[in-house]
Every structure is written in C-alpha cells, then in structure tokens.
Structure 1
C-alpha cells in the first residue's frame, strides 16, 4: 500500500493563511468550519498554530486544502497570464463592480478557469463553486450553501435557498459580492432555473457569472427554442448575451513556453504550430489565433523538453566517444 506523503510546513502555512483569508471573506470561523467540513477549533486554533499542527491528521489537512481549492500536487507547471485570462479577468471585474448577471460560454481549455483563479486571488468578496455533472439539484444547492459557509444539516432546498439569498444580501451591505458558478453547463435544468429567483432577489446587489463550455449557450438557447420551463426567463436575466474569449496568440504561446523551460525559438514555433492557428478577424483586423485546448500546448511543451533532454544526452555521448 502506497504511503501518503506528509504535507510540508510551507504547505501547511499556506493552507493556514488561506483559512484566515476565508474567515475575512465569510465573516466568522464558524462559517469557515462549515465550508471546509471541519470543527471550528481545528481551523481557528490547531491549523493556525504551528505548535499544534501535528494534532491535525494528514487526511484533514488534505480535505481542507481541497475545499479551499489548494492543490497539493507539485507539478512544476508555471502559470502565465494570456490574452484570454486577461479578458476573463475584465469580464469578472465588470460583473462584480456593476452587479451584473452574465454568462461566459467558450470551448474548454482556453483560459476561463485560469482567469477565474487569477481574479479570485486578486479580489475580495468573490465566492466560487465548480459544478459536477453528477450533482442533483439538491446537491447543487447544498454545495452552494457550503461555499458560503452555511450549515446545511437536514435543511430543505427552499430553506437553504433563503439562507443563501440572506447571506449574500448581508454581504452586499459591506462589499460587492461576486458569485462565480464554473462548469455551469453541467448543471441540470432545475439547477439552472435557480438563477431566476436569485436574480429576482439579488438584482443590483451582487454580480453573478455562469461559466461553461460552448454547450452552455447551446443548452440555454435550445431550452428557449423548445419553450422548456424557465429557460426564456433565465436567458432574459442573462441579457440574452453569451460572452466569449478571444483565443490564443503566438505571443501567449511563446510566453508559456519560456516560463515552462522551452526557450529555443524553433521549439516554441513547433508548439505554436501544434495549435493549428487560423486567420481570424478581431475588431476589423486579421490575426493568427488558435482556439484549441491549451492542454494540447502543455503536451507539446513536455515533448519539446524531452526532445531537448534527449539531444543533450546524445551530444554528451558523442563528446565522450570523440574524447576517447
């Protein structure tokens, strides 16, 4: 059986700091404890005092890290801000400052989640939930309540919805809350309809952004076309507008390559070509842009690093042979 790797002091310190930030956002240690499914003493005392860290099990540290969106895997992959992440940042900023309800529908792997993560780290009053396809409507409401630090024990969907609205109204008095619902295209129709009463209750008090792949727009429009219950109202509250990102430019790829160990211009060009860029008109000017999943680029960069390593090894072998 594989032994679990113990968290480092640096990781525990980062989790402790995230808990403090979460407490500032949610308003109390009790709400933080509800969100991460731990006791208040654990998050406010044991995890805050390095002398008491050994009282918290590895499983609990890992669970709390997951609830806070903190990854424990050490991937060496360096994040680079791109044109798409900057566009995403601007959309979220507009939604929060102007209390807008909007939808971002764009193909997967193009920087929506990266831009969202960047925004969450930079701004206050931002609440984030990533949806799962397996969630029932009740599970979705429970997860949203947990995100806000609301205790969900044995409460009905109606009661939890009222508590969600009430908490966001409280936050709107102190700040400009932004609720980000990522992977919204995975929600079932009942869950999508929830945003209608949220809009009715919270219009001009909070910003709300639904983020999803390209099928988010298709699903809502198809619901409107079929006159499915609630879909016309939902689209109306989203302004019947679906925001898209721009795409990936060669300078984005060059920056990502350089940050992740591929500095040879020829290798960077090969990575760019792997994304099959096409000519696209943007504000009346044509540019070479790729709309492919950036996970393709990540694989290309890994291949280029391996290629460079193999070439360096062969060169070293030739030197040995020549020297002999």
Structure 2
C-alpha cells in the first residue's frame, strides 16, 4: 500500500463521511473499522494502521488498486440519475431495468456519494427478511443488534419519516426471494409520500413480475401497481460512449478502442477489463 494510495483512500473516506449526517454514523456503517482508525486516517496519522486495515477501509468506500475509474456521463447514466432525482425530490417510486454490466450499481453508488439521505442496498439471493432490513439499517449507519423484524421495520420507517427527501435504492431486486420481495409493499405503504424508492434490476425482474401476475401469485399485482404499472428501460451504451469511456480512462488508440467495443457485448465491466489490459500491455512494452 503506497502513500499515494493511502492519500486516495483518505480523500474517498472524506467524501464517504460527508454523505452521512455525522461521522459517527458513517463509522457505524463500516465493518471492522474503529473510530480511532477513521480519525487517524483523516488526520494523516498512519504509522499504526496496517495495510490490511487500509485495504479493508478502501474496499468499503470504493477504492481500487487499479486506480479510480473515471466516470463518463452517458445517456444511460443521465437517465438513471434523472429518475433517482425525481424519486428523491417528489417521493416517487420507479422500477428500472438495466442490463447486467450496464452501470446501474456504479451510478447508484455515485448518486449516494453525492446526495444526502440516500441509501443504496445491494440485494442478494441469500437475503431473508431480517437480513434485508439489517442491510437497510446498516446503510443508514444504525445498530440493529437484538431487534426482531417488526422492530427493525419500525426503526427504518421512523428514521426515514424524520428525514428530508430520503431515497432508498434497491439494487438487483430480481435476486430477492418472494417473502423478501413482498417487503417492498410494506415499505411502500408505510412511507407513501414520505420517501422515494428506486428498484433496479435486469430484465429478469420484468419477466418475473409479469409471470407472477399471470399466475395470480401473491403480491405480484400489488408490486406492479406500486411501481406505476411500468418498468423503465435504458437504451444501452453506444460505440461513441464506449470510446469516451476508454479515452477518459487513459486509452486513446482508435484500434484498441474498436477492439474493446467489439468485445464488450453490452457489459461495461468488459470495457473496464479491456482498458486495464491495454494499459498493462503498454507498460510491458515500455519496460
């Protein structure tokens, strides 16, 4: 862990803390990181902080040893941000369909880092109801040890009801099992007009909801109604936008950009890997 990497983590940590109402709440959201460690990182007192701790903190706040990935405001990025802004300002609810690797998580993290009272939750298949609520509270920087499901839900609602223009971003919702997905109905009902909600997922969520409605499965018609009976889709990244991303991140050779575009298959992760591969190859040639 070099001094320049530590300085980058220090800057990212400052930005991370600013998105929370207080430093203590930001610290509470970090796993296995003490208040003393955060204070020492911010003050530049680094002698007692191990490389493992630097990596632990860095991973949780968006640091990458490959360097900071520079953002390009593609049409899809602007579209997702537009609906997040609308949801936050007017307490609206939207369901967005973004292809895998389409930049939804990157955009959600960016939006959370640049707005107040925004909580981004990345959903997983293993979530049960309690784990889902625990993740929301964790994003809020709240302790939830010993609370049951009902108490956790009431705590979440109480916090959001007192905040100005709160927003929940539920990422990869299509991964949630049905009993957890139904919680969206409860959250919507309790926070209607008080909190914006943006659900993001791949096309599988659209198919799942439509199939559930046809089969008259519990909760699916209610979920579809609460998202305005509409899924919002993005168009995908164009060749010109892929070129802009490559150039912003240090690859300007037209032939290499063309190769990266031909291999990216609509997945921006492949663009990032292609850029990284091109940079490594360039460094080896220069050595």
Q: After TM superposition, is the score higher than 0.5? A: yes
Q: How does 1:273-288 map to 2 (within 5 A)?
A: 273-274=262-263
| Distance in 2 between residues matched to 1:122 and 1:235, nearest whole Å | 30
From 14, 17, 31, give the equivalent of 2:14: 17
| Distance in 2 between residues matched to 1:236 and 1:270, nearest whole Å | 44
Residue 116 of structure 1, CA deviation: 2.1
Query: 1:36 — aligned with what?
Result: 30
From 241, 253, 263, give the equivalent of 1:264: 253
Residue 46 of structure 1, CA deviation: 4.1
- 1:217 matched to 2:191? The reply is no
| Distance in 1 between residues matched to 2:197 and 2:23, nearest whole Å | 25
Q: How does 1:243-322 map to 2 (within 5 A)?
A: 243-274=232-263, 292-301=266-275
Give the 3-state SS of the residue equivalent to 2:235 in structure 1.
Answer: coil
Query: 1:74 — aligned with what?
Result: 66
Query: 2:43 — aligned with what?
Result: 49
**Deviations for 1:121-180, whole angstroms, at most 9, x for unmatched residues?**
332221111112222222111111111122111111111011001000111xxx211111
Query: 2:113 — aligned with what?
Result: 121
Paired residues of 1:31 and 1:149 also in contact (CA < 8 A)? yes
Q: TM-score, normalised by structure 1?
A: 0.76
From 183, 186, 202, give the equivalent of 1:194: 183
Q: How does 1:70-109 map to 2 (within 5 A)?
A: 70-75=62-67, 77-109=69-101
Question: Relative to structure 1, is the Cα distance of residues 308 and 35 closer, same or farther in structure 2, using a 3 angstrom cutoff?
Answer: closer
Q: Higher relative CO (CA 8 A, sep ≥ 6), structure 1 or 2?
A: 2
Give the 3-state SS of the residue equivalent to 1:36 in structure 2.
Answer: coil
- Root-mean-square deviation over aligned CA pairs: 3.0
Residue 28 of structure 1, CA deviation: 3.9
Residue 99 of structure 1, CA deviation: 0.9
Paired residues of 1:30 and 1:40 also in contact (CA < 8 A)? no
Q: TM-score, normalised by structure 2?
A: 0.85
Paired residues of 2:182 and 2:219 also in contact (CA < 8 A)? yes
Question: Relative to structure 1, is the Cα distance of residues 89 and 38 closer, same or farther in structure 2, using a 3 angstrom cutoff?
Answer: same
Question: Relative to structure 1, is the Cα distance of residues 9 and 261 closer, same or farther in structure 2, using a 3 angstrom cutoff?
Answer: closer
Q: How does 1:144-223 map to 2 (within 5 A)?
A: 144-171=136-163, 175-223=164-212
Question: Relative to structure 1, is the Cα distance of residues 72 and 254 closer, same or farther in structure 2, using a 3 angstrom cutoff?
Answer: closer
Question: Relative to structure 1, is the Cα distance of residues 257 and 228 closer, same or farther in structure 2, using a 3 angstrom cutoff?
Answer: same
**Deviations for 1:96-128, whole angstroms, at most 9, x for unmatched residues?**
112111111221112222322332233222111
Q: Which of these two proteins has the greater Rg computed from alpha carbons?
A: 1
Q: Number of matched residues?
A: 286
Paired residues of 2:127 and 2:180 also in contact (CA < 8 A)? no
Paired residues of 1:103 and 1:209 also in contact (CA < 8 A)? yes
Paired residues of 1:193 and 1:230 also in contact (CA < 8 A)? yes
Residue 240 of structure 1, CA deviation: 1.4
| Distance in 1 between residues matched to 2:228 and 2:169, nearest whole Å | 17
**Deviations for 1:177-210, whole angstroms, at most 9, x for unmatched residues?**
1111111111111111111111111111111111
Q: Unaligned stretches of 5+ in structure 2?
A: none
| Distance in 2 between residues matched to 1:16 and 1:257, nearest whole Å | 26
